[in-house]
Structure 1
Amino acid sequence: MTRSETHGTQRVAVLADSQNLYHTARSLHEQNIDYAELLDAAVDGRSLTRAIAYVIKANAPEEETFFEALVDIGFETRIKEIRTFGDGSKKADWDVGMSLDAVSLADHVDAIALCTGDGDFARLCTHLQHEGVRVDALSFRESTAESLIDAADGFIDLSEDTDRFLL
């Protein structure tokens, strides 16, 4: 029995850490994520309330096409510029933004699917569960923090079906 058979009336929000997924898919499999399949697996027959992809603008030639494709698939995009510091180091992540969106959405959904392997989200899982929200994590097991897998109510290992989840 699938989640959709037992929780078909759940409202779900999908939050995708695109930077984390991109780098993991490239380093492990030298391929890109199929975001349509990712969204389908995250929703799993439930009622989609919001789908948000958190992306980093790096001024690469193909990124506008990628951002448009995400919108066509059904994701809202949150775009952040890379910050360059005086020493030349660069930083861009969406951990705080994703967490704030998840907490804000908690009153409006029954489940949140976190598409990331970042262990920083384990504490967010606990908070959301305390608020009565089911949390599913979707990522590649090889690079997913055990703390996130343990904290989530469900885990989908994208590496188990690379034909589906990779382009």
Structure 2
Amino acid sequence: MTDIHPDQRVAVLVDAQNLYHSAQSLHSRNIDYSALLSKAIQDRQLTRAIAYVIRADAPEEESFFDALVDIGFETKIKDIKTFSDGTKKADWDVGMSLDAVTLANHVDTMVLCTGDGDFSRLCSHLGHEGVRVEVMAFESSTADELIDASDTFLDLGDRHETFLL
């Protein structure tokens, strides 16, 4: 990667639901969030690291949330919503985007850990604000428009021995 220097201020925003489902469907494994954060920071100054998670009342999720905090993430937790027809929905797209826009004035680089193409417009906006945007996700489940909108893309699938447990 180019344009990385130790004085850069970095924010790392992780769409945990998106990464979880990609890691499970592609590799039947879980993400190593410690390795993910370490690679995202790359010896730069961490301003904020936020993991956006969904509470679905699974037995192990509270210990997972605690582990994220121990690694160095702030967690933002949203309860899954079940609608009258039985469908379930929970996503952090708007919350993540608002945080990114709010943080843009305080960082040089924003690392988005998601493959969700809905964030491509956010990448463009951050770029216009002078913020470098790096995306880390699994290329095979990442929207082309997100890859195209970012300054750099790191395929977690290329280094699954590093990023998967």
TM-score (norm. length: structure 2): 0.98
The CA deviation at 1:56 is: 0.1
Which residue in 2 is equivalent to 1:95? Answer: 93
Query: Given the alignment of the two structures, is residue 64 of structure 1 paired with residue 57 of structure 2, yes or no?
Result: no
Out of 154, 157, 160, which is 1:156 matched to? Answer: 154
Matches of residues 6-85 of structure 1 in structure 2 within 5 Å? 6-85=4-83
AA aligned opposite 1:93: D
Unpaired runs of 5+ residues, structure 1, are none
Q: Is the 8 A contact 1:3 1:44 kept in 2?
A: no
Query: Given the alignment of the two structures, is residue 144 of structure 1 paired with residue 133 of structure 2, yes or no?
Result: no
Q: CA offsets, 1:52-104, max 9 Å, x none? A: 00000000110000000000000000000001111010100000000000000
How many Å separate the matches in 2 of 1:3 and 1:91? 38
How many Å separate the matches in 2 of 1:116 and 1:40? 16
How many Å separate the matches in 2 of 1:71 and 1:83? 24
Aligned to 2:75, what secondary structure does the other structure show?
A: strand
Could you tell me the percent identity over the aligned residues? Answer: 67
Q: Is the 8 A contact 1:56 1:81 kept in 2?
A: yes
How many Å separate the matches in 1 of 2:106 and 2:146? 23
How many Å separate the matches in 2 of 1:52 and 1:3? 24
Across the aligned residues of Structure 1 and Structure 2, the Cα RMSD in angstroms comes to 0.9
Aligned to 2:58, what secondary structure does the other structure show?
A: coil
AA aligned opposite 2:73: F
How many Å separate the matches in 2 of 1:53 and 1:161? 21
State how many pairs are aligned. 165
Q: CA offsets, 1:21-54, max 9 Å, x none? A: 0000000000000000000111111110000000
Query: Given the alignment of the two structures, is residue 126 of structure 1 paired with residue 124 of structure 2, yes or no?
Result: yes
TM-score (norm. length: structure 1): 0.97
Moved over 2 A (4+): none
AA aligned opposite 1:38: L
The CA deviation at 1:7 is: 2.0
How many Å separate the matches in 2 of 1:54 and 1:156? 20
Q: CA offsets, 1:102-134, max 9 Å, x none? A: 000000000100000000000000000100100
How many Å separate the matches in 1 of 2:38 and 2:2? 13
